[in-house]
Homo-oligomer: A and B are copies of this chain.
Amino acid sequence: MRFSRGRNFMFRVPEGKELLGFINDFAKKNNVIIGAVSAIGSLKNPKIGYFDEDAGEYKVIELTGTYELVSLAGNISVKDGEPFAHIHVALGGSDGSLYGGHLVEGEVFVAEVFIQELLGEPLERKPQENGLTLWDAMEL
Contact = CB atoms under 8 A, between A and B. Distances in A.
A80 interface: no
Contacts of A4: 8
Interface in A125-139: 132, 134-139
A51 B49 CA distance: 24
A68 interface: yes
B70 A71 contact: yes
Contacts of A59: 94
A132 B45 CA distance: 20
Copies in the complex: 3
Q: How large is the interface on A (under 10, 10 to 19, 20 to 34, 35 or more residues)?
A: 35 or more
Nearest to A97: B99
Interface in A47-106: 48-53, 59, 61, 63, 66, 68-75, 86-90, 92-102
A118 interface: yes
A98 B88 contact: no
Interface of A: 1-5, 7-15, 22, 25-26, 29, 34, 36, 38-40, 42, 48-53, 59, 61, 63, 66, 68-75, 86-90, 92-102, 109-110, 112, 114, 118, 123, 132, 134-140
The 7 A-B residue pairs with the shortest CB-CB distance, nearest first, are A1-B11, A14-B137, A70-B100, A11-B138, A61-B96, A40-B88, A96-B99
